[in-house]
Amino acid sequence: MLKTNKKGNWFELTIPEIWDGISIEELFQKKWNSPKKLTHQFRMEQKVLVNGQKFPWNKPLETGYKLQVKLFEEEEINIPPHYMEISILYEDDHVLMLNKPPYLNTHPNDLLKDTNTLVNAASFYLQSKGEMRNIRQIHRLDKDTSGAVLFAKHPLAGAILDRMLESREIKRTYIAIVHGLFRQKKGTINEPIGRDRHHATRRRVSPTGQKAITHYQVIKEVPKQQLSFIKCWLDTGRTHQIRVHFSHLGHPLVGDILYGGKPLVKRQALHAAKLEFIHPFTEEKIICHAPFTDKPAIFKDIDLNHI
């Protein structure tokens, strides 16, 4: 874990021994994989100092040097704040992870009209703490899906986490209840997903669709009701991926009427139960479990700490 500190608008990082000889340029480009445009902005606006002074971007840094990066500036807010109770799973100076309840949109479709979303609630929370910055959503969940959603608190964190999501360095594990019992208790679904030409919102497995890979494992069965509880994790993040893939296998999600599930519960039985990644600014391993919030409970007798 790296030694870091927040000093006003500045993030301070003590260069560790394993980074001895790295330059600021290499740190931004190779360690953080920061986009060129954003990196250029930090350079031109002199938002990076070493030991409180200007420092050549291509000059090697030494162990113990204090690197300061101006990350915590105020921004013009473009996401209207909206108060609602939120459940915080993890928070520090760079990221915020919330447990999204079901029946709530992750983000607004119309910034001005649609303010009752998790993004608006996160914006309110940040501003209530005096952090006048725009919250940045890293990924999303369907309206009826519950569980862990990751946000970034500043542009550099947002850019780095976006790249980490693309390169599958952020692992999300879901719990779902599906119809039917599996012969194969563990497997991988590798089927491309595209739009359904006959339905505006539905997706389908299609040879011309985008690559989509879902791994799964059965964790509990209810033979009398012909139901299976599964955990699954994704190599890709296609719209409705889990719902489409299991429907395609003949095991639609319980409650997912759009894809053939029966309305045994009021929503699709899908929960983003676990989110894990290596923190880009501290190198700490972050593992968060999102508790189930449904009342009455949908996911019964599932120990989240063992998924």
Domain ranges of the chain: 4-70, 173-271
What class has domain 4-70? alpha beta
**What distance in Å separates the CA atoms of residue 116 and residue 119, rounded to the nearest whole number?**
8
Question: Which residues have CB under 8 Å from 307's CB, separation 6+?
Answer: 173, 175, 219, 231, 273, 274, 289
Q: Which residues pair with residue 271 across a beta bridge? A: 146, 175
Kind and range of the H or E run holding 159: helix 155-166
The percentage of residues in the chain with a pLDDT greater than 70, rounded to a whole number, is 100
Q: How far apart are CA 122 and CA 224, in angstroms?
A: 42
Q: State residue 7 phi and psi, 5-degree precision.
A: -130, 95
Residue 178 neighbours by CB under 8 Å, 6+ apart: 227, 228, 230, 246, 251, 252, 253, 254, 261, 269
- Provide the angle, in degrees to the nearest 10, between the axes of the packed helices 36-44 and 155-166: 160
What is the 3-class SS of 170-232, one letter each residue? Answer: CEEEEEEEEECCCCCCEEEEECCEEECCCCCCCEEECCCCECCEEEEEEEEEEHHHCEEEEEE
User: 147, 98, 103: which is closest to 267 by C-alpha?
Assistant: 103
**Placement of tokens 């949109």 in the chain:** 105
Active site residue 294: no
The pTM score is 0.95
Position 215 scores a pLDDT of 98
Per-residue tokens: 225: 């009701």
SS3 (DSSP) at 282: coil
C-alpha closest to that of 19 among 41, 2, 40: 2
Q: What is the pLDDT of residue 16?
A: 96
Query: What parts of the chain have a pLDDT lower than 50?
Result: none
Q: Which of 96, 97, 98, 50 is nearest to 70 (CA)?
A: 50
Q: Which two tokens stand for residue 262?
A: 């029966």
The alpha-carbon radius of gyration of the chain (Å, integer) is 22
| CATH class entry, domain 173-271 | alpha beta
pLDDT at 305: 87
User: Kind and range of the H or E element at 38?
Assistant: helix 36-44
- Residue found by looking up tokens 């000889």 in the block: 21
Active-site residue, from 114, 142, 196, 256? 142
Rounded CA-CA distance 3/8 in Å is 17
